[in-house]
Amino acid sequence: MKLHRESKGTITVASLLFIIISALSIYFLEMWSLVIILPLLVVYSLVFWFFRVPNRDILDHKENVIAPVDGKVVMIKEVEEDEFIKGKAIQVSIFMSPLNVHICRYPVSGKVIYKKYHPGKYLVAWHEKSSTENERTTVAVESLTNHKVVFRQIAGYVARRIVFYCKEGDDAKAGHEFGFIKFGSRMDVFLPLDTEIVCKIGDITKGGLDVIARMKED
């Protein structure tokens, strides 16, 4: 199984803790140490599972808006996007549990025209205010259909580290990685009002594969 590059520090710490706690348990508890070691082994295995990088065949897209993460669609509504679009947009929000793949992918192809990191709170990721009050990043892409699409990584109550690798001027390719969030969070995508939304609340998405909307060429 291939592991994400963001896993190195976490897995090193988890491995040291697993070895130390297991050794102490065996020394002091002998056979009863299994009561501690077996659940600890499950948690240790889940750390590796969290950082997995699945093999996915990413296609080329123009009008399609691709799910940027694995997760569950929890919001589709018209909102005011005040940071970059500065006007009305359709917001599609996808919540990720700690068991989902946490690679963040471009939802559309085009050119990166804006990026910004915002420090903030750590409200639970499904809280509506987390989009504007939590630690987050904002990225905007000028799409191949000549639309400005904004998407936002949002830290949650558990997720305390957001990473994004893109720079202004980079080519964005729908379905390809631009960042990573550790341990449960949310992604918001802000789309033009005339976008055809093809997902619905409650849908389970596969990042890089599932089409969540289609934009008309401008």
Give the residue numbers annotated as catalytic, written as ranges.
Answer: 185
Contact indicator for 68, 151 with CB cutoff of 8 Å: yes
Question: Cβ–Cβ contacts within 10 Å for residue 20, how many?
Answer: 10
| Cα three-residue angle 137-143-148, rounded to 5 degrees | 60
Q: How far does CA 11 lie from the centroid of its chain?
A: 19
Helix (H) or strand (E) holding 77: strand 71-81
Polymer length in residues for the chain? 218
Helix (H) or strand (E) holding 128: none
Q: What share of the chain is helix, strand, coil (3-state, %, to 5)?
A: 20, 35, 40
156-184 exposure pattern, b = at least 16 Cβ within 10 A, e = fewer: bbebeebbbebeeebebbbbebbbbbbbb
